[in-house]
Structure 1
């Protein structure tokens, strides 16, 4: 009987769960930089949110954002971040902040929380993990692209999919 099950799972792979497990070494690096006071949201939780009721903020710089970003994301940058760039976001709405891996995003998320935003989350693993899990990214023209800004040589090793741009 066990051989029947093995053959069945081989012939019908769609019955197998294929949820990606984050690279343990990447996870270890993220845990070193993440501040436990800033809530994170994993990609599966993020995908379950009602997209009509949330705001997605990209905390990368404009040149990174211009290469690719999550659909419907608003670039707010990091170095020149200004709270006036989010004046239109009600403080009771859900806000997801991301960057390459989450370090810059958590800092921007912290500023939002200090300013009174109630539902702010750092996307766990950032755009790197988003792409690693096989989710699409887009150009400013709305076209899907394989290109991802790889941030720098130290962090680019954690980008497993896509076409790296530095």
Structure 2
């Protein structure tokens, strides 16, 4: 006996929407070399959102999956620090599972992994910020530290920090 999987029209629509949103996210990167690197680096197996599309989300939570040191240098305003090595779902128990969540790191690699964990845990509206905080800053969006707006961004290391074209890279 063979099992047959039936996909409803709604399922086909949602699959197409997910594929389209990923393609749109990838098309939004300002540096073509950075875009090519991201295309190869990421697995693209979670929903991705580009920097301009974040504005279309209603009251999203920003989840920073970088190290505490990186977060202290700068982060998106209102972001919740979750870490990567230190990541724990228990710290997010207060967040409704249907609330839009934009997960980010430097370029999108660590946040892609955490986004997958969030989806497995039942968070329904999670998006990996395509290009990460680097692309956020490259597109002129603000970042803050504990004192307010800043132009500084932690570059992780030289190899990754070179993808920042705006702001002051610190290590």
Could you say which TM-score interval applies, normalised by the shorter chain? 0.7 to 0.9
TM (norm. structure 2) is: 0.81
Query: Any gaps of 5 or more consecutive residues in structure 1?
Result: 1-19
Tell me the TM-score normalized by structure 1.
0.84
2:157 maps to what in 1?
152
**1:27 corresponds to:** 35
Tell me by how many angstroms 1:106 deviates.
Answer: 0.4
Q: Deviations over 1:30-84 (max 9, x none)?
A: 1112122211000111022222xx2110000100000000001000000111111
| Gapped regions of structure 2 (runs ≥ 5) | 1-27
Distance 1:88 1:33 in 2: 32
Give the secondary-structure state (helix, strand or coil) at the position aligned to 1:111.
Answer: helix
Matches within 5 A, 1:6-155: 22-51=30-59, 54-141=60-147, 143-155=148-160
Distance 1:130 1:98 in 2: 10
Residues 29 and 131, structure 2, Cα contact 8 Å, conserved in 1: no
Q: What is the number of residues matched between the two proteins?
A: 144
* Aligned-partner Cα distance in 2 for 1:105–1:149: 16
Following superposition, the deviation at residue 92 of structure 1 comes to: 1.1
Give me the whole-angstrom Cα distance separating, in 1, the residues matched to 2:65 and 2:44.
Answer: 19
Q: Which residue of 2 aligns with 1:17?
A: none
SS of aligned partner of 1:144? strand
Q: 1:126 to 1:138 in 2, by over 3 A?
A: same
Q: CA RMSD in A?
A: 1.1
Change (3 A) 1:67 1:131: same
Please tell me whether Structure 1 or Structure 2 has the larger radius of gyration of its CA atoms.
1
